[in-house]
Amino acid sequence: MEKLYNGKGNIRNLMEKRFWDVFHDLYLDYMRHINDYLQHPTDDNKRLIENDLNVSQPILAFKYAVIKRNSTLWAAFAPLCKWNKD
């Protein structure tokens, strides 16, 4: 099993491609929401980002990093960017 998953074979390449495809789609959707909010800060656009920052959502660390680097986003969403939320 170790050779299958830790090697350089086709299975590992397929797993890497699937991971990056999923990550890329999630990241692009999130960045679309961010861009929409920055251009039009409506309640609906804000809700989309709040949903993206839900603890059950994937790639939170990347999402937090985007928000932390922008003062407008940080002012609006800092309370949602906490590790170990209850």
Find all residues with CB under 8 Å of 67, minimum gap 6, and list them.
53, 73, 74, 77, 78, 81
- Domain span at residue 60 reads 2-80
CA atoms within 13 A on the CB side of 18: 6
- For the whole model, what pTM was predicted? 0.79
pLDDT tens across the length of the chain (86 residues) = 455 556 667 777 778 888 899 999 999 999 999 999 999 999 999 999 999 999 999 999 999 999 999 999 999 999 999 876 65
Q: Is residue 50 part of a domain?
A: yes
Q: Is residue 86 part of a domain?
A: no
Q: Is residue 17 part of a domain?
A: yes
Q: Is residue 46 part of a domain?
A: yes
Task: Output b/e per residue, 35-46; b: 16+ Cβ within 10 A.
Answer: ebbeeeeeeebe
